[in-house]
Structure 1
Amino acid sequence: MAEARIGISGWRYRPWRGVFYPKGLRQADELAYAAERMTSIELNGSFYSLQRPASWQRWRDGTPDGFVFAVKGPRFITHVKRLGDVDAPLANFFASGVLDLGAKLGPVLWQLPPTLAYDEALLESFLARLPKTRTDAAALAARHDDRMEGRASFAATAAGAAGDAPIRYAVEVRHPSFEDHADAWAAVLERHGAASVTADTAGKYPRLDRTTADFAYARLHGEEELYASGYDDASLDRWADWTRAHLEAGRDAYLYFDNDIKVRAPYDAMGLIARLPRPAVMPPPATGAG
Structure 2
Amino acid sequence: MRILTGAASWTDPTLLACGRFYPPAVAANAEARLRYYAARFPLVEVDSSYYALPTAENAWRWDQRTPDGFVFNIKAFRLFTGHQTPLSALPADIRAELDGWPAPFLYYNDVPGELRDELWRRYTLALEPLRLPGKLGAVHFQFPPWIRRDARGHAALAEAARRMDEHLISIELRHRSWFDSPAATAGTLALLRDLGAVHTVVDAPAGPENSVPAVWASTHPELTLLRLHGRNAAAWNRTTQASSGRFQYEYSEAELAELAERFSRLAAQSAQAHAVFNTNFEDQGVRNAAAFAAALPGF
Counterpart selection for 2:65 from 62, 66, 71: 62
Structure-1 separation of matches of 2:289 and 2:283 = 11
Q: Is the 2:161–2:197 Cα contact (8 Å) retained in structure 1?
A: no
Q: Is the 1:174–1:206 Cα contact (8 Å) retained in structure 2?
A: yes
Structure-2 separation of matches of 1:244 and 1:75 = 31
Structure-2 separation of matches of 1:83 and 1:275 = 46
| SS class of match (1:24) | helix
The letter for the 1-side match of 2:189 is A
TM-score by length of 2: 0.75
Residue 262 of structure 2 is matched in structure 1 by 242
Q: Which moved more, 1:100-109 or 1:203-212?
A: 203-212
Gaps of 5+ in 1: 134-166, 284-290
Q: Is the 2:261–2:297 Cα contact (8 Å) retained in structure 1?
A: no
1:1-290 mapped onto 2 (5 Å cutoff): 2-17=1-16, 18-25=19-26, 26-28=28-30, 29-78=32-81, 79=83, 80-81=107-108, 86-95=116-125, 97-101=126-130, 102=132, 103-120=134-151, 121-123=154-156, 125-133=158-166, 167-180=167-180, 181-203=184-206, 204=208, 205-209=211-215, 210-214=217-221, 215-225=223-233, 226=236, 227-276=247-296
Q: Deviations over 1:208-266 (max 9, x none)?
A: 42321112111111123541011111111122112311333344211111111242110
Structure-2 separation of matches of 1:263 and 1:118 = 35
Q: Is the 1:179–1:208 Cα contact (8 Å) retained in structure 2?
A: no
- Let me know the Cα RMSD of the aligned residues: 2.2
The letter for the 1-side match of 2:140 is L
Structure-1 separation of matches of 2:54 and 2:197 = 24
Q: Deviations over 1:143-200 (max 9, x none)?
A: xxxxxxxxxxxxxxxxxxxxxxxx3111001112212332211111011221111112
Gaps of 5+ in 2: 84-106, 237-246
* Equivalent residues, number: 244
- Closer/same/farther in 2, CA of residues 34 and 61 from structure 1, 3 Å limit: same
| SS class of match (2:24) | coil
| SS class of match (1:255) | strand
TM-score by length of 1: 0.77
Q: Is the 2:143–2:172 Cα contact (8 Å) retained in structure 1?
A: yes
Structure-2 separation of matches of 1:236 and 1:126 = 35
Q: Is the 2:72–2:136 Cα contact (8 Å) retained in structure 1?
A: yes
